Structure 1
Amino acid sequence: MIKHLVSAGAVSAILALAAPIHAKDRTGYQAIAAGDLAAAERILVAERRIFPSRPELLLNLAAIYGRTGRTAEASTLYARVLKLPATMLDLPSGREASSHALATVALAAVQRNLAVASR
């Protein structure tokens, strides 16, 4: 089983950012951590062409969409993660989290933010 590191997003502690264990940044983690969301998005879109169902790619791209105001797109990606089999992802703290747990919490936050914005 391939495991990936996952850390919390800056906008919300619940938005997942996955990082590969290997040096090459194929999940956009390093670009996201550096605040370069445009570069991260380019990486993620390219990787999704090859691996359209990798949950760490979907979670990271959804986090970017959420941070850049594309909440409908973020919600769609989180919902897609929930339709895939759950995958355990390593957190930088050494803990693990299910892709489903991360997507559920992040999706709830996106929906909550939409509700607040519509008031």
Structure 2
Amino acid sequence: MRGLILVALAATAVAGSAQAGERTGYAAIVAGDLSQAERMLTTERRIFPQRPELMLNLAAVYQQTGRTGAAASLYRDVLAQPAVAMDLPNGSTRSSHAIADAALRRFAPTTLANR
């Protein structure tokens, strides 16, 4: 399945399509109603647990609400599934794996060296 990716406030990818906006939490995330988005995404994941757009969006909600461990876990779940092409708002395409990898890199601690 192809989804539409939007870079949300915390530079987190949010997936969904205009028609499926209510089923992917997209509209609620864009509106800033993260609790509503979380409820929708949790419900949809009970039906479609492996859909990457649902995992990516729920991870975005978790990340934006300070639950980075839960977000990282969902990004790893996306990586455990086959990669899916996602359409970006600018017309380009990016894989679900690339989105999840980029998000996980933001969580990685920076290593500094000095003498």
Normalised by the length of structure 1, the TM-score is 0.87
Please give the residue correspondences for 1:55-74 in structure 2 after superposition, counting only pairs within 5 Å: 55-74=52-71
Query: Contact 1:87 / 1:98 at 8 angstroms: preserved in 2?
Result: yes
- Distance (whole Å) between structure 2 residues aligned to residue 104 and residue 24 of structure 1: 24
Query: Contact 1:66 / 1:110 at 8 angstroms: preserved in 2?
Result: no
Which stretch of structure 1 is more off in the superposition, 104-113 or 60-69? 104-113
SS in 2 for 1:105: helix
Query: What RMSD over aligned residues (CA atoms) do the two structures have, in Å?
Result: 1.6
Say which one has the larger Rg.
2
Which residue of 2 is the match for residue 95 of structure 1? 92
Query: Contact 1:63 / 1:74 at 8 angstroms: preserved in 2?
Result: yes
Residue 9 of structure 1: how far off its partner (Å): 1.6
The alignment of Structure 1 onto Structure 2 pairs a total of residues equal to 111
Which residue of 2 is the match for residue 11 of structure 1? 10
Query: Contact 2:28 / 2:34 at 8 angstroms: preserved in 1?
Result: yes
Which residue of 2 is the match for residue 51 of structure 1? 48
Report the identity percentage.
50
For residues 74-104 of structure 1, what are the alpha-carbon distances to aligned partners after superposition, in whole Å with 9 as ceiling and x for unaligned?
A: 0100000001000001111111110000000
Distance 1:85 1:42, change over 3 A: same
* 1:80 aligned to which of 77, 80, 83: 77
Distance 1:92 1:79, change over 3 A: same
Q: Kindly report structure 1 stretches of 4+ aligned residues shifted beyond 4 Å.
A: none
Q: Which runs of 5+ in 1 are unaligned?
A: none
Residue 110 of structure 1: how far off its partner (Å): 2.4
Residue 10 of structure 1: how far off its partner (Å): 0.8
